Amino acid sequence: MNHYKNTLNLPKTNFPMKGNLTIQEPNILKKWQKYDIYQIIRQKNQKKKIFLLHDGPPYANGNIHIGHAINKILKDIIIKSKTLSGFNTPYTPIWDCHGLPIEHIIEQKFGTPNQNITKNKFRNLCRNYAMKQVKKQKKDFIRLGIFANWKNFELTMSPKFESNVIKNLNTIIKNKHLYKGFKPVHWCLNCQSSLADAEVEYHNKISESIIMMFKIINNNIFKKIIPIQLIYPIYILIWTTTPWTLPANRAIAVHPYFKYQLIKLKKYYIIVEKKLVLNVMKKINIKQWTVVSTIIGKKLEFTKFLHPFLNFQLPIILSHHVNSDSGTGAVHIAPDYGPDDYIISKKYNINITNIINSKGYYKNNIHHTINKKNIFTSNKIIINLIKNNNLLLYENTITHSYPHCWRHKTPIIFRATSQWFINIENSKIKEESINQINQVTWIPKWGHSLMKNMLINRPDWCISRQRTWGIPIPIFTHKKKGTLHPETNNIIKKILNIINLKGSEIWWKIKKKDIIKKDYKKYNKSNDILDVWFESGCTQTLKIYNLENQKNITNMYLEGPDQYRGWFMSSLIISQAINKPIPYQELLTHGFAMDKEGKKMSKSIGNIITPNEIIESFGADILRLWVASTNYTNDVIISKKILYQISDNYRKIRNTSRFLLANIYDFQPNIHKISFSNMIILDKWIIHQTQVIQKKIIQLYNNYKFYEIVQKIIKFCSVELGSFYLDIIKDRQYTTNKNSLLRRSCQTAMYYIIHSIVRWITPILSFTADEIWNYLPEKNNNCLFTEEWLNLPYDNLLDNNIIKNKIWIQLFTIKSEVNKIIEKKKKNKKIKSSLETSMTLYINQKLYNTLKIFKNELKFIFLVSQVKIKHYKNIHINIDINKKNKKFKIKIKKYLGIKCPRCWNYFNQNNIYKQDKNLCDRCNKNIYGHGEKRQFV
């Protein structure tokens, strides 16, 4: 029997069954680095149309996490898929290097600048630390299989980048969008600096909740409002959760159009907004009261009340920000510590008090009980002061959402300070930004409405920070007037020339008299640095790619949803402030990584899985496949269990690829390729199916729906190939003559299929795709990553051919049922193999007329030794794979014949060829004759 084995075309390949990704991937990386794969791609595609995906800079601090992996892998998938679609896709990574996290780490190690260490040395330590972090993260990103210009990445701390940022600032100053204001901003007591909106996050906080009374200075004032004799004192009620702001209280606001009730209690009157009376009375435990009068809010304007524990008067002012959802309908106004308070105070010429320092301590001479004390720990002291004056009606605690510093996770406050702002509210920036975003393709679509609402409610942008590590604001202001030097634009141009050579840190060493030749003593040098979001928002204007002469540049931004407040917003505002077009044509947002229980991954919780852990256990391609398999527009769940499931899908793709490679081991395309018109019909059909699926896959890549691509590839490998085509062609591939049309047709189809699959998976499974590519016979190109989608052969004249006929779907449906019956017989040990059986198929006349053209070839489809088809008039056939309406009848019985030792099919002894009486006719023909003939399968 061994000599028969030598007559078979059994599969051969060195492509390993097991991926061993953790071992193989580093070797592939070395090869990519040796040949400089990124530059090879750039050189090959330099004249093609541009697709530019602009990198949102990650922060240079700490090891990369799953969020980083999701972000970079998605970008890489898009870039590689666009390369396959014929684009030139340069990609230069950028790192965000300035800011508080790095500063905070250096402070912990070496102390506070100017106290324990000089500022110059402190900045050098920050720079060195950032550079180490960049190198570490870069190595990890490369390990993920990310193709990028790793040799020439960009840093926000490079002189080139810093000068570009300051150049943009100069343009904004020229366009008169910058002003200095003294008003409340988000202030972190730990950072001792203002915070951008994007640096604020909300967490639950327990706060004191009190209702207290403010006494009117004189009842006679009320006679002008209500002509009634009032014999008891009158109080207005205030509810607050921030007692610490009461020392800065300078007015009481009511809504001009709300109705307020004057209510008589036992020995005093109170004023409460009408809709809130019941709720207030319940809280202060009053069950009986008398409404004396109802007053419209605007009539209370300028009525004066006494501060509950400080010796001054507070006027009633009118404001539309007062609401009737909760509280008492009256709000105490502290202009330093709330944006609404500030705005309304400015309207009434109420001055800012400035009674709290940068660390959150009261200054001296406020009240002896709270002088130099922390504001939050003073809440109880202030409540006791109110209580001692018999003005406290209610005291409790509430848990509510409260702003926190995203770095320190500590509660922040609004604090009025002198800061630099970009004018957004009273300029065309907001209006133009809202108009511009209509031109953007938002993925997902809700991004548009989210950004629009954020823009509508967007206040002026505070771009100054009171820290050490960052790009300075290189301007001079008049000591008395606070105005910019009249030659500011020219001064910044001078400074830019120096910064281009030495970096922005040279600003701290520049002497005023060297820049301002006249009256330099009248001006102060700015000690503030720029908001890091201003820096990252300027990346759009950085000349990274030298593509000024290129046309049709498609620009995409891709980040997490937190960047709507961050980089997406800052880039948009800066583009409008410097009169540039919107920086992105497409904006794609991905979700956050969650653990198996749906909780956001966090070091503090201890529920993280790091990319390096996954790579060490599974390999980078498994991580990449997981990213591609998720609907990334939502938050995505990752766990070891999910990764094992992803590994199963990976094996399906790998095993299918291995089978195809093993069966084209001796196939030389230039010699053996069969023209489409001469191919066996089943081979034409599978090429047509491949073409149909490829069109869908390309469209899905264009629409960034990667999880649907993975589903289609897995289905194609498992169903169209694994359960149908590859199952059927084994006999033809193994048993026909080596150089027969039957075999070469089959190999031609498999050659096209593997060339298609390897391209489909290239953006996702980059390591595995490259490995497969190396095993393909006679490639025209040694570099897979410069390839484009495969042009599959097709003959337009055959549009109505059987390759498009639904008969294949019907056969697939029948085959599925046949397999079930045979498996049952195997289980019952009635047969060992499907080839032991003879099958009779009872069908209607229409299907009978179609199937009879297959003649003896039907048995190869169903993998049995004999097929008989019979018209069964009593059965109404309506085979519909979607509705699973399978109205046909199958009979399977054991075939009474002889097993061919070569092909394992069963045959009777009436064979024509007698060269080898042990073999069936087919095997005799294939070995000794001119080979068997087939048309369909």
| Same domain flag for 676 and 813 | no
| Same domain flag for 857 and 748 | no
Which of 736, 455, 400 minimizes the C-alpha distance to 571? Answer: 455
Domain span at 570: 33-159+544-599
> Which amino acid appears at position 270 of this protein?
I
Segment 102-129 mean pLDDT: 93
Q: Name the CA radius of gyration of the chain, rounded.
A: 38
> Residue 223 above 90 pLDDT?
no
pLDDT digits over 345-376, tens only? 999 999 888 899 999 999 988 999 999 999 99
Is 512 assigned a ligand-binding role in the annotation? no
Indicate the residue among 405, 423, 445 that finishes a domain.
405
Is 107 assigned a ligand-binding role in the annotation? no
Please name the residues in contact with 926: beta carbons below 8 A apart, sequence gap of 6 or more.
7, 735, 736, 737, 740, 932
pLDDT digits over 155-186, tens only? 999 999 999 999 999 999 999 999 998 888 89
The answer to whether residue 410 is domain-embedded is no
CB 476 within 8 A of CB 485: yes
Average pLDDT over all residues of the chain: 91
Q: Which of 79-88, 423-432, 782-791, 878-887 has the lowest mean pLDDT?
A: 878-887
Distance, in Å, from the CA atom of 511 to the CA atom of 502, rounded to the nearest integer, reads 15
The answer to whether residue 249 is domain-embedded is yes
> Residue 407 above 80 pLDDT?
no
> Which amino acid appears at position 888 of this protein?
F
pLDDT of residue 913: 64
| Same domain flag for 372 and 243 | yes
The answer to whether residue 690 is domain-embedded is yes
| Same domain flag for 760 and 904 | no
Indicate the residue among 370, 390, 405 that finishes a domain.
405
Which of 178, 304, 314 minimizes the C-alpha distance to 251? Answer: 314
301 to 251, 264, 272, 825, 847: CA distances (angstroms): 11, 21, 15, 94, 90
Segment 296-308 mean pLDDT: 95
Query: Residue 60 maps to which CATH number?
Result: 3.40.50.620
| Same domain flag for 855 and 842 | yes
| Same domain flag for 579 and 688 | no
CB 161 within 8 A of CB 155: yes
Is 603 assigned a ligand-binding role in the annotation? yes
Please give the helix or strand (H or E) that residue 571 lies within, else none: helix 567-577
> Which amino acid appears at position 722 of this protein?
G
pLDDT digits over 618-631, tens only? 999 999 999 999 99
| Same domain flag for 752 and 675 | yes
306-330: b or e for each residue (b if 16 or more CB lie within 10 Å)? bbbbeeeebbbbbbeebeeeebbbb
The answer to whether residue 512 is domain-embedded is no
27 to 22, 650, 770, 836: CA distances (angstroms): 10, 20, 11, 47
The gap from C-alpha 928 to its chain's centroid, in whole angstroms, comes to 63
The answer to whether residue 426 is domain-embedded is no
Entry field: residues in the chain: 937
Distance, in Å, from the CA atom of 654 to the CA atom of 791, rounded to the nearest integer, reads 23
pLDDT of residue 549: 46
The answer to whether residue 937 is domain-embedded is yes
DSSP state of 786: G
Q: How many domains does the chain have?
A: 5
Segment 413-428 mean pLDDT: 91
CB 96 within 8 A of CB 156: yes
| Same domain flag for 756 and 890 | no
Distance, in Å, from the CA atom of 126 to the CA atom of 113, rounded to the nearest integer, reads 11
> Residue 852 above 90 pLDDT?
no
| Same domain flag for 251 and 340 | yes
Is 97 assigned a ligand-binding role in the annotation? no
Give the pairing of strands 304-306 and 313-318: antiparallel
| Same domain flag for 254 and 399 | yes
What percent of the chain is modeled with pLDDT above 90?
Answer: 76
The backbone torsions φ and ψ at residue 223, rounded to the nearest 5 degrees and listed phi first, read -65, -30
Is 903 assigned a ligand-binding role in the annotation? yes
| Same domain flag for 210 and 333 | yes
pLDDT of residue 885: 42
> Residue 878 above 60 pLDDT?
no
The answer to whether residue 613 is domain-embedded is no
CB 474 within 8 A of CB 503: no
DSSP state of 362: B
Distance, in Å, from the CA atom of 820 to the CA atom of 801, rounded to the nearest integer, reads 30
Per-residue confidence at 406, pLDDT binned at 50, 70, 90?
confident
The answer to whether residue 326 is domain-embedded is yes
Per-residue confidence at 877, pLDDT binned at 50, 70, 90?
very low
Neighbouring CB atoms inside 10 A of 884's CB total 9
What percent of the chain is modeled with pLDDT above 70?
Answer: 95
Distance, in Å, from the CA atom of 892 to the CA atom of 863, rounded to the nearest integer, reads 12
Per-residue confidence at 899, pLDDT binned at 50, 70, 90?
very high
Which of 802, 807, 895 minimizes the C-alpha distance to 843? Answer: 807
Per-residue confidence at 883, pLDDT binned at 50, 70, 90?
very low
Is 920 assigned a ligand-binding role in the annotation? yes
Query: Residue 220 maps to which CATH number?
Result: 3.90.740.10
pLDDT of residue 927: 92
| Same domain flag for 797 and 890 | no
DSSP result, 208-243: EEEEEEEEBS-GGGGGGT--S---S-EEEEEEES-G
